[in-house]
Structure 1
Amino acid sequence: MATIVEDRKVESAVKDMIISADSHINEPPTVFDRLPAKFKDRKPVMMRGIDGGDGWSFDGNPPKRTFGIEAMAGFEKKDFKLSGMRFDELRPGNWDGRAHLDDMDIDGIYGSVLHPANAIQVYSLADRELGVACMRSYNDWLLLDFQAVDPKRIVGLPMLPVDDGMDVTLAEFERVLKNGAKACFIPGMPVRPYNDPYYEPLWAAASAADISLNLHRTFGGKPDKSDWDELVDQRVSVGGIVFRYFSSVRPLTYMIFAGIFDRHPNLKIVAAEVDCGWVPFWGQTMDAHWEAQQAWFPQKLEHKPTDFLGRNCFVTTIDDYVGYDLIKTGRYPYLAAMTMFSTDYPHSATIWPNSRAVADKLTEGMTEHDRSLVLRDNAIRIFHFGE
């Protein structure tokens, strides 16, 4: 596989800082080494697949899919492959914090928000005691090994066990905060929808701590079996990749109309890798039905739905030219306030190592105020970069 020339590094001036609000790691074989001894025989392991690549086994059987599209940074598009890569073929920036900083410098990126990769499968393990223990091991590796290399520039998103009881969830929330977490990950397909009152203690805790909770498309949990893709079984389609750009409409809409953001005005929910071009129509539709259906809908809102956009609800984008052109019109002020740029390193959709050039093209003609919001200021505020 041909690799992209990478003999350049870019020093970013602080005044023109760019932050990627959605990047990823690919976990190393040691990620679950912190599991208690009693889980030794049940520990998930990386092993060689039948296609010659390496992948994760969570049940002792060969991996359902080996590394591929989730680790394409550095390869030409013509050489992209769904699977079949060995771990030693991955760029070290996938799993080593210091190497990740080097790749950020090559790309001209100051800061990076890191989402999980294969580790999200622990949300679907039948053995929930093991699943929670794996989350804790992952979270410790992410915060104490990866993020700790430079916590001012790297923000890891530890996973919260939201399906395993609110006491367990809050205990892990408090634990990861003590270990340096600046934001947390929640699954895209939880057992209970996020408008369920069950989550009220988590919303309150996150609000009080000023910690954002981050969804990434449908990552985490069990998708509907009728879906074309089934990420637990590692079935992936191009149609599924496209659909997931719209996957946050349901949870965010339900949370807004359930009155969650009225009750928790400091709560911040980030929907990653969904872009923003669809947002104005969604906002228009929410406002229209909020006005038209108030007579019979029991949940009253203190604010119109679009008031929560940019205050409570946020999205990350990659190369959404439609969305950025809408920001330039100035017709939707909430759009710049809720949008954050990202590189999607190291996935097949990544714009690495050309992210700075793409950002410049995307924001050409945008006001400096809005450009600053989408490229850095929103991310600094939500993820506490520099702290």
Structure 2
Amino acid sequence: MKIISADCHINEPPHVFERVPEEYRDRAPRMMPAPDGGDGWSFDGGPPKRSFGIEALAGVAKEDYKLSGMKFEEILPGNYDGAAHCADMDIDGVWGSVVYPANAIFTYLEPDRGLAVACMRSYNDWVLEEFQGAAPDRLRGLPLLPVDDGMDTTLAEVDRVVAKGARGLFIPGMPARPYNDPYYEPLWKACSEMDVPVTFHRTFGGRPPDADWDELVEQNVSVPGIVNRFFSAVRPLTYMIFAGIFDRHPKLKLVAGEVNYGWVPFWYQTMDDEYRTQAAWSDSLVERPPSSYLGTNVFVTGLDDVNGHMQMAAGNQTLVNMSMWSSDYPHSVTLWPNSQDIIAQLTRDMTPANTQRVLHDNAAHVYKFN
């Protein structure tokens, strides 16, 4: 079986924004030393808010984990080099990889929107030409869509990156407008007609609507915040389904990355219950029970979710049909390089056919791996 990890990441190399037009060169984000001795990205010319750490820990023993303080030369080349990424996947027994951005998501917060869009385009060219281009049959880089910068700008970038070989598109987890807003209708229409999936990754990208222990704009990260973000897909997916988006755009495919699966059965049970219970008064925009969109239009990725795999083993076909496994290389929770052992434990009670769907078929179908 060609196992596909539907959620991996890069850590951008120093030259990723060098393709911006001349007028923006002196203000483009730069990698530089941070006060703690590590390297990090500066988006305002000042010291980096945080240096490399938890997002680049593949190859580091867990007892040596740290939040930050790593230099760029300390992280594995598989973070930023497509060929090296594939070599690391070979070590892990993984064939294909869908690759999300890292610090490039902070372009969604850049006040100068001309600079921000130029940086997104530079990143997109790099991830498609250089990173994905190293192994286009095995890698799927996800270009950033400038969804907060006008629909004409967004659609132009969709056309541009799809022509360059994009087989999936990244949208921010915290956009300026919620994704059930009519503003997005042209985007959903275009992606449905092109049959190219869109994906958000937890709360990656955009300004948080509130803050508690975490303050992600300042890159303050906490353990309870990490836990909470596994449930970050509930609201956008629920509202998009009930807004009738997938009825109007039946070929649209939306993936919520790194949210795991165990919560999904209770979620769709609740959606279906309320769809039926409130039918007498609600002005519903959906044409059938909400759970029917799962596995055809809506998908999730997860890692070592034992609870979710137990429910798959018990025969929950809806969950099987919408789930994609991932190793989350090279983040702190990555299963690399032990994915084979963990997969064997997760799938031991699943049927071979359902194991194939979760480890390969769903991702291969959505992202068009051969």
Normalized against structure 1, the TM-score is what? 0.95
Q: Does the 8 A contact of 2:173 with 2:204 survive in 1?
A: yes
Name the amino acid aligned to 1:182: R
Structure-1 residue corresponding to 2:331: 347
Structure-2 residue corresponding to 1:282: 267
Structure-1 residue corresponding to 2:181: 196
Structure-1 residue corresponding to 2:342: 358
Q: Does the 8 A contact of 2:18 with 2:25 survive in 1?
A: no
Matched, 1:121 2:100: no
Q: How far does the alpha carbon of each residue in 1:258-279 deviate from its partner, in whole angstroms, 9 at most, with x for none?
A: 1111111111110000000000
Name the amino acid aligned to 2:165: G
User: Any residues of structure 2 matched to 1:250-261 within 5 Å, and which?
Assistant: 250-261=235-246
Match of 2:43 among 41, 54, 58: 58
Matched, 1:327 2:303: no
What is the Cα deviation at residue 297 of structure 1? 1.8
What is the Cα deviation at residue 121 of structure 1? 0.2
What is the Cα deviation at residue 173 of structure 1? 0.3
Match of 1:367 among 351, 354, 368: 351
Q: How far does the alpha carbon of each residue in 1:217-271 deviate from its partner, in whole angstroms, 9 at most, with x for none?
A: 0000001243321222101000010000000000000001111111111111100
Alpha-carbon distance in 2 for matches of 1:66, 1:51? 8
Q: How far does the alpha carbon of each residue in 1:307-359 deviate from its partner, in whole angstroms, 9 at most, with x for none?
A: 011111100010000000000111x2210000000000000000000112111
Q: 3-state SS of the aligned residue for 1:246?
A: coil
Q: Does the 8 A contact of 1:23 with 1:113 survive in 2?
A: yes
Q: 3-state SS of the aligned residue for 1:162?
A: coil
Normalized against structure 2, the TM-score is what? 0.99
What is the Cα deviation at residue 293 of structure 1? 1.1
User: Any residues of structure 2 matched to 1:1-387 within 5 Å, and which?
Assistant: 16-330=1-315, 332-386=316-370
Q: Which ranges of structure 2 fall in alignment gaps of 5 or more residues?
A: none
Count of residue pairs the alignment pairs up: 370
Alpha-carbon distance in 1 for matches of 2:165, 2:327? 24
Name the amino acid aligned to 1:300: L
Q: Which ranges of structure 1 fall in alignment gaps of 5 or more residues?
A: 1-15
Q: 3-state SS of the aligned residue for 2:98?
A: strand
Q: Does the 8 A contact of 1:184 with 1:213 survive in 2?
A: yes
Name the amino acid aligned to 2:18: D
Alpha-carbon distance in 1 for matches of 2:176, 2:33? 31
Alpha-carbon distance in 1 for matches of 2:333, 2:107? 24
Name the amino acid aligned to 1:362: L
Name the amino acid aligned to 2:237: L
Alpha-carbon distance in 1 for matches of 2:208, 2:231? 15
Name the amino acid aligned to 1:339: S
Alpha-carbon distance in 1 for matches of 2:291, 2:212? 30
Q: Indicate the RMSD between aligned Cα atoms, in angstroms.
A: 0.7
Q: 3-state SS of the aligned residue for 2:66?
A: coil
